[in-house]
Amino acid sequence: MDSTGVPHILEHTVLCGSQKYPCRDPFFKMLNRSLSTFMNAFTASDYTLYPFSTQNPKDFQNLLSVYLDAAFFPCLRQLDFWQEGWRLEHENPYDPQTPLVFKGVVFNEMKGAFTDNERVFSQHLQNKLLPDHTYAVISGGDPLNIPDLTWEQLKQFHASHYHPSNARFFTYGNFPLEQHLKQIHEEALIKFQKIEPNTAIPKQQLWDKPREHHVTCGLDSFASDPTKQTTVSVSCLLSDITDTFENFTLNLLSSLLVGGPNSPFYKALIEANIGTDFSPDVGFNGYTKEAYFSVGLQGIAERDIETVKQIIARTIDDVIEKGFEEDKIEALLHKIEIQLKHQSTSFGLSLTSYIASCWNHDGEPLELLKVAEKVSQFRQCLKENPAFLQEKVKRYFKDNPHRLTLSMSPDEAYYDKQAKTEAEKLKQKVNALSEEQKKQIYEKGLELIALQSKPQDTSCLPALKVSDIEPTIPLTKLETAFAADEVPVQYCAQPTNGVVYFRAVSSLNTLPEELKPYVPLFCNVITKMGCGALDYREQAQQIELKTGRMSVSPHIIPDDSHLDVYEQGVLFSSLCLDRNLPDMMHLWSEIFNNPRFEEEEHFKVLVKMIAQELSNGIPDSGHLYASVRASKTLTPAGELQEMFTGMDQVKLMKRIAEMSDVKPILRKLPRIKKYLLNSDNMRCSVNATPQQMAQASKEVEKFIKGITRSKKERRPVRPHVIEKYSEPKATGSETLNCSQIPRKLITEPTFQPCQMKTHFILSFPVNYIGECIRTVPYTAQDYASLQILARLMTAKFLHREIREKGGAYGGGAKLSHSGVLTFYSYRDPNSLATLTTFEKAADWVKSGDFTQQDIDEAKLAVFAAVDAPTAPSDKGMDHFLFGISDEMKQTHREQLFAVSRENLMDVANKYLAAGKSTRGLAILGPENADIAKDPSWVKR
């Protein structure tokens, strides 16, 4: 009932030691003692979810035991340090080393979260639309209220909420249910008496007239037009989410209203060209007790607020009058059919999330899962009453007085004001302390550091052993044929549930250098501009009616055996139901042969949306942008990655979005098409059921024969191209015909890696940091050791120093497929101190201050990732996309098993010692006086 973030802080706290497992942070320790395929915890507006998954039955029991004990019997002993937990290191007047504990991590997590203006808007939207109860506050915590939470409040909240009478359990998978029930009963339920938790949320009091509200946010330094940074939306309260059919209908209705270029609101709002994209939380939101619908625009001028409101009202009137075309409804129902058939490896987790909100409010979870029944019922309602949907629009969107208009515009001093309020709050707290209390706090701080630095006795935690890991991997049967005698096609027969997956890779080797930066834009718009006889609206309609998706993305793949060799291309991905394969392949033919580039206004709309999405993504993915920039100068592929997916691309799209005349950019697209959309240097793959393969092969053949070949032989732009074949693969005595897929790779024999340090100055209150080191490729002997080393440093050193002591939301080390080792931190209050921590991590490994148990745990964590489940749609993709065969994976597996302490210390000395390897650094974050004085940093 307040914004101190008590449920969120408790989410972190209960994972930090319990009665049965009294060691610090069992949650993070279990990441290394398990083969889990997923472990996390989430706090929503009105529940906290603790999900985990694994493919190993013993592991499942171990994790269930740790999670149950953590939730119901946490050790709250560490909270002695509670009041000191909030202080930021540079603000503490007594001891710069006083670290942050639970409140501190959450404090910086939420500071980072609220640098995302979309998040700020969504939060205010919920608070103001549902103002009478728990939805009026911030369950994750408002950074300025978090310090007010007391230990007593936290313990009280735990006692009343973390009780089996207020809990729900969900399992999914093929392990026997009886065992789960027995364990839940014995380890939790039997130890409690039933109580009345009184946590039910009352219905929101309905308003008798609409309301308006205005809020402020930080400036967006990547906005394409600095004078257009206002967001506005109109939101309506809908029905109780436990009315499952009504919500199913309203969800569909919302998709019809805002989904894709054919929807009424897209046409009316996005194409009015007064904003850049829909407002945050557009469409149906079913995560609160009563659902709501929201629609509006971001990236508008403040003077256009009224215009947007008028357009929304007019569009609702139009829909009430005209309704929806039948094929739009069919396209939506087709989408549901595909979602039901497409198998993902996180299906169980998706189901949990899907039912959690409704079940949390005592809705019937099984009702929610009967999707096919709901579709039949929906069809029946439409049949009986053709105006069924129009009546819903009138009731919920026109005649509904519980309607909120929310607007948000930037305030230049937004972050300064927050920092000032924070500083004042700290000052008040410090001034209220007596000398004796200050001394106590200082001593507690020292005690806490000592506690955090003490090695943990983790022997109480359950663990799998390295011997529990399967020594070999199952082989995937692949076959290769040549379509039209020249294009290799990989076929992988799998139980895909009646869905066909088609992919193709086309090389960029002949593309002129000056067109390269525009490849991501080309990929983004090529399936959205129209093709053949179809304009962009008709094309979108056909894609929705006949496919699950058709997407195009840049494809930069480092070679598995040489750091200066890589493949550059574009990946085309799609899926469809068996019956629609001819239609999907026809659409691809039209996109390849006759893409349309004449819709200039529509192109402008797409450009603005892309630029806005990139800008909005930085607060969530800042560490990835920092890492991509840091690795830019280490390998030739790194340079291309930065151009295609890094801050360079964000800035390029901002520049294009600012142009008043986009014709020069539009003219580049047909030129790129000429080099990319043909059958030269192309390969394809199909994953489908065995019964579907003959038909699939026929359709792919027809597609290849139907697309153009270059009239003249085009030379690669970069002269050094090598052709590489994947190894033939033997199983027993037979050699499967799956090998000869040639890949044309670029080699840069003269490439010289060099060091670069970049600071992107952003108005955020937290930092995102990446430090990258050039090491070795995938097949090199040292690669496995470096992989284990990265995990070891993360679990045994970096987590403690960066998160527990430093207060960052996250941090660690990882080795990418490209052979670049990356240290990173996320939503971090520190900057240069964290870079020093990275150095200390290397020294720690070189000193050998770790045990065999630590190495085994790092191996378990690495194998958990290596052996993560693969969906039928993705089988054989390592071979097709990366050129990595099952044999190579098996060799790598054996190298992982064999990694020893000597190997780890050896690679640490070889690659991490100062001056041994070339490294790059990048920080995204606020101005920094020390960096500003240092000429070795490039400031952006």
What pLDDT, on the 0 to 100 scale, is given for residue 729? 47
The reported pLDDT for the residue numbered 222 is 86
- Cα–Cα distance for residue pair 508/87, rounded to 1 Å: 51
pLDDT for residue 681 is more than 90: no
Among 11, 567, 599, 642, the one annotated catalytic: 11
Residue bearing the bigger pLDDT, 629 or 88: 629
Residues forming a β-bridge with 770: 824, 922
Q: How far is the C-alpha of 876 from the C-alpha of 858, rounded, in Å?
A: 27
Give the pLDDT confidence of 897-935 residue by residue, as tens digits: 999 999 999 999 999 988 888 999 999 999 999 999 999
Task: Return the percentage of the chain with pLDDT > 70, whole number.
Answer: 95
The pLDDT score that the predictor gives to residue 726 is 67
Q: How far is CA 97 from the centre of its chain?
A: 33
- Which of 84, 290, 567, 590 is catalytic? The answer is 84
The predicted structure's pLDDT at residue 719: 67
Q: Where are the domains of the chain?
A: 6-200+418-451, 211-410, 479-728+738-747, 756-939
The sign of the dihedral angle between the CA atoms of 262, 263, 266, 269 is positive
At residue 735, does pLDDT exceed 60?
A: no
pLDDT for res 442:
87
Q: How far apart are CA 631 and CA 558, in angstroms?
A: 13
For the question of whether the overall pTM of this predicted structure is more than 0.85, the answer is yes
Under CATH, domain 756-939 is a member of which superfamily?
A: Metalloenzyme, LuxS/M16 peptidase-like (3.30.830.10)
Residue 748 is a catalytic residue: no
Q: Tell me the C-alpha distance between 257 and 259, whole Å.
A: 6
Instruction: Kindly tell me if the per-residue pLDDT of 799 is higher than 80.
Output: yes
CATH class of the region 479-728+738-747: alpha beta
Q: pLDDT value at position 76? A: 61
Is position 11 annotated as part of the catalytic site? yes
- Cβ contact 626:552 at 8 Å: no
User: Residue 22 pLDDT more than 80?
Assistant: yes
Residues in the chain: 940
Tell me which fold the domain 6-200+418-451 belongs to: Cytochrome Bc1 Complex; Chain A, domain 1 (3.30.830)
pLDDT at site 48: 95
pLDDT beyond 80 at 52: yes
Q: Is the pLDDT of residue 295 over 90?
A: yes
Residue 718: beta bridge partners? none
- Average of per-residue pLDDT values in the chain: 91
- Which two three-digit tokens encode residue 469? 């890991």
Distance CA 517, CA 888 (A): 33
**Choice between 660 and 736, residue whose per-residue pLDDT is larger:** 660
Whether residue 684 has pLDDT greater than 90? yes
Q: Which band of pLDDT confidence, cut at 50, 70 and 90, is reported for residue 449?
A: confident
Which comes out higher in pLDDT, residue 184 or 116? 184
Q: Is the pLDDT of residue 778 over 80?
A: yes
| pLDDT value for 88 | 30
- CATH assignment of 211-410, among 3.40.50.300, 3.40.640.10, 3.40.50.12500, 3.30.830.10: 3.30.830.10
